[in-house]
Structure 1
């Protein structure tokens, strides 16, 4: 049970969305579009949206642009979290973490196993962590996986996570 006030619960969170893909553009990016649609339907706003290749430098440049930016409270990345040779999102973003949120990946894999892909869930390296006062979620590229993570984990807890990361300022 959250101790947030009604005012805090209604606050729109500023979310930056990054799709990591060698093949998608804004017209074909179903997963990024799913994040944007679900976040906006939940009353949040998209501070920025970008697509980059599975290249460490491009991912790093984008995350660097958003970290420490007060206009961005949450970063959600889709793609590059599997075990393929080009899947480098997790290795690229986890060094940024001030604190890992291990429960996110654990719960995501559990839900993926029970509600979506069965034992293939063990291949997921989905991760989350705080970067000072921001939260970053790294999700698979599958739009079904994105929808599961957004519906069951991210959107229900986003206000609480941002509140916990910023409550020292109040």
Structure 2
């Protein structure tokens, strides 16, 4: 991994969705963590919302943001656990055209170093829909920091080599354009 300083940084437009039945905008530490980190990295906070753990509402919000040309990436936090109310992963998968399988694997690997075998309870996932990247992260600020600091910071930086999500962003809808 390296940073290619001959390439210019390209900011991406990122929406943050917090999924919680108990949090309010005033105590949304995970959403605040993601918003601060993405802005500190030079990206744009394009939208922010909070929803209850309702699969259809989450999927509808994801679809709305995927249809918005002013949003390149959606980061959701919360609802990725194993309880009956945790439906964010299912909502994401309702929207995905393609899943980024290795994201969950890499997130689990990083989590094991921090929380040991408790990492097995995370269902972090990622995918692509309508030319937009979607990432479902656990609801803890620590998990959001880990996902951002150890994966997304690099993959959402055009200068990151040997490859990154930003350089293929314009190609995500190639099949749609060929029709």
Q: Give the TM-score normalised by structure 2.
A: 0.87
| Structure 1 runs of 4+ with >3 Å offset | 1-5
Aligned-pair Cα RMSD in Å: 1.8
Aligned residues between the structures: 166
Task: Determine the C-alpha separation between the residues in 1 that align with 2:14 and 2:62.
Answer: 12
Distance of 2:30 and 2:3 partners within structure 1:
32
Counterpart pick for 1:129 among 115, 127, 130:
127
The corresponding residue for 1:162 is: 166
Which residue matches 1:87? 86
Q: Secondary structure at the match of 1:18?
A: strand
Which secondary structure state, in structure 1, belongs to the residue aligned with residue 25 of structure 2?
coil
Return the alpha-carbon distance in structure 2 between the equivalents of residues 42 and 121 of structure 1.
Answer: 27
Query: Could you tell me how far apart the structure 1 residues matched to 2:27 and 2:3 are?
Result: 40
CA–CA distance in 2 between the matches of 1:3 and 1:153? 14
1:16-57: CA deviations, max 9, x gaps?
000000111111000000000000000001110000000112
In structure 2, C-alpha distance between the alignment counterparts of 1:59 and 1:96, rounded to whole Å: 10
For 2:46 and 2:57, the matched residues in 1 are separated by: 19
Instruction: Rate the CA distance shift 1:138–1:47 in 2: closer, same or farther, 3 A.
Output: same
Structure 1, unmatched stretches of 5+, are none
Deviation at 1:131, TM superposition (A): 1.0
TM-score by length of 1: 0.91
| Aligned: 1:6 with 2:10 | no
User: How far, CA to CA, are the matches of 1:58 and 1:126 in structure 2?
Assistant: 19
Aligned runs of 1:21-36 on 2, under 5 Å?
21-36=20-35
Secondary structure of the structure 1 residue equivalent to 2:67: coil
Cα offset, 1:122, TM superposition: 0.4
Q: Give the Cα–Cα distance (whole angstroms) in 1 for the partners of residues 112 and 42 of structure 2.
A: 29
Matched, 1:146 2:148: no
